[in-house]
Amino acid sequence: MEDYSYNDYLAIKALENGVSITGLTRGKDTKFHHTERLEKGQVYIAQFTEMTSAMKICGKAEVYTKHGKIISE
């Protein structure tokens, strides 16, 4: 049976230089596993996977999800 939670995508648009995106692992111990750094205007598209259960976004960015748009500050 397929787990449809893995099909969720995020689009993140940096509104300033230096926006960082960090992926966090699933499992017993949550750990950082991947980091990206965006410059103003760059867009990053990410997907939740078997390994990625959460994402941390630092800096001013627009985050687009199936639930709508969020602006981080």
Over residues 14-51, the pLDDT tens digits come to 999 999 998 888 777 778 788 899 999 999 998 877 77
Rounded to two decimals, what is the model's pTM? 0.80
Q: What fold, for 4-72?
A: Immunoglobulin-like (2.60.40)
Give Cα separations from 1 to 4, 33, 53 (angstroms).
Answer: 9, 26, 19
CB-based contacts of 67, cutoff 8 Å, min separation 6? none
Model confidence band, residue 1 (pLDDT cutoffs 50, 70, 90) = very low
Show me where the domains of the chain are located.
4-72
